[in-house]
Amino acid sequence: MSHTSRQIWLKVTTPTRLERALVVLAQAAYVTFYSATYALAPTFAHRLTGYLEEVAVQAYTDYLAAIDRGAIPNGPAPDIAKLYYRLPENATIRDVVLHVRADECMVRCPLRTMLLTESRMLSTGLRRDR
């Protein structure tokens, strides 16, 4: 998730200070874990990132379904989202979710290609992990 996406969701959800603190702690733990993982097993780290992108795309798809069912209100898009995604003035949260999900897909696809290429190289002996 990009910095701008986090800013957008902060405008939509307005978390409490405790929730913000928990998010910061979770991000710090993840960065520490991912950095160590990348240093020890870069292929696994890439696969983990690809998996997380897949989960993010599914989560945004579920979010869209909940909006469509009426389980989540489809209010107006925050100004930061309208500016970042160049959305019309009457844009809604659903429009924002569609754009954020598209961003996640744009990251997921190159990762998948890179992982498939890396797997083929490993299986043919062209590349050895560190």
Domain ranges of the chain: 3-124
Do residues 111 and 49 make contact, with C-beta atoms less than 8 angstroms apart?
A: yes
pLDDT of residue 36: 96
Residues in the chain: 130
pLDDT of residue 81: 93
> For the whole model, what pTM was predicted?
0.74
pLDDT of residue 6: 79
Distances (CA, A) of 26 to 23, 33, 43, 52: 5, 10, 23, 15
- Return the higher-pLDDT residue of 76 and 5: 76
72-124 tens-digit pLDDT: 999 999 999 999 999 999 999 999 999 999 888 877 556 656 556 665 655 66
Q: How many helices (H) does the chain have, and how many strands (E)?
A: 5, 0
Whether domain 3-124 has CATH 1.20.1260.140: yes
The vertex-49 CA angle with 48 and 52, nearest 5°, equals 85
Mean pLDDT of the chain: 85
